[in-house]
């Protein structure tokens, strides 16, 4: 993928130097609060390789977010296909993120996500981008709302990848943003 530059960030494919941070965000209790698993180093390395391969194949995905001024990787933000959820139509693209806790609250996710929405709607000519999170994950749903996404309660679902042993994590809320609504919001901001 060609790196995407924002005011403070570079959104790029994963590099070998990112492995430690990637493992940390996939094993940290705060970051993974709404996930039923934590990844050990080998699992994190395999997942990072998988994400890198998706970006190599598609030209987009859950990409590394790096602070431009320091070169420090802080987590990921990106868009990707939702092939792992068979009840969504083929071609559905979701936006998602995961940052190390020390970078929360600085607006990095919103900044990066805005750039990914622009890429998805302008470059990839997508009709819609969706997002979803555990219903109690207020931090993520607040970002979705800041991005102009709308809750779609009729599409809320019990995530098939969450085991019954974690009932509090099963219910997911669903958000949508159409190209037309994104464009109207962009025009209104001018």
How distant, in Å, are the alpha carbons of 22, 27, 81, 105 from that of 55? 16, 23, 11, 27
Q: How confident is the model at residue 166 (pLDDT cuts 50, 70, 90)?
A: very high
* Count of structural domains, the chain: 1
Express each pLDDT in 69-124 by its tens digit: 999 999 999 999 998 888 899 999 999 999 999 999 999 999 999 999 999 999 99
| pLDDT score, position 91 | 92
Angle at which helices 108-118 and 138-146 pack, to 10 degrees? Answer: 50
Q: How confident is the model at residue 142 (pLDDT cuts 50, 70, 90)?
A: very high
Half-sphere CA count of 29, side-chain side, radius 13 A: 0
What domain range includes position 148? 4-189
From CA 170, how far away is CA 164, in angstroms rounded? 8
CATH number of the domain at 118, please: 3.40.630.30
Express each pLDDT in 19-41 by its tens digit: 999 999 999 999 999 999 999 99
| pLDDT score, position 189 | 85
Residue 98: closest CA among 13, 17, 176, 21 = 21
| pLDDT score, position 85 | 87
pTM of the full structure: 0.95
Average pLDDT over residues 5-31: 98
How distant, in Å, are the alpha carbons of 1, 13, 71, 111, 164 from that of 57? 9, 11, 25, 25, 33
| pLDDT score, position 87 | 85
What is the percent of the chain with per-residue pLDDT over 90, rounded to a whole number? 95
Copy the structure tokens of residue 94. Answer: 């979701």
Q: Give the chain's mean pLDDT.
A: 96
Average pLDDT over residues 130-145: 97
């Amino acid at each position: 993928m060609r790196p995407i530059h924002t005011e403070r960030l570079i959104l790029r494919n994963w590099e070998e130097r990112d492995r430690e941070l990637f493992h940390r965000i996939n094993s940290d209790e705060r970051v993974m609060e709404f996930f039923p698993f934590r990844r050990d180093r080998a699992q994190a390395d395999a997942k990072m390789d998988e994400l890198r391969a998706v970006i190599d194949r598609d030209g987009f995905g859950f990409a590394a977010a790096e602070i431009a001024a320091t070169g420090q990787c802080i987590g990921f933000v990106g868009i990707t296909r939702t092939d792992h959820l068979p009840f969504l139509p083929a071609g559905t693209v979701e936006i998602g993120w995961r940052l190390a806790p020390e970078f929360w609250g600085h607006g990095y996710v919103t900044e990066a996500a805005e750039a990914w929405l622009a890429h998805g709607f302008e470059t990839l000519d997508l009709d819609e981008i969706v997002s979803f999170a555990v219903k109690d994950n207020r931090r993520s749903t607040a970002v979705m709302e800041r991005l102009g996404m709308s809750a779609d309660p009729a599409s809320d679902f019990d995530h098939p990848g969450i085991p019954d042993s974690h009932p509090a994590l099963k219910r997911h809320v669903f958000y949508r943003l159409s190209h037309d609504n994104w464009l109207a919001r962009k025009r209104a901001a001018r």
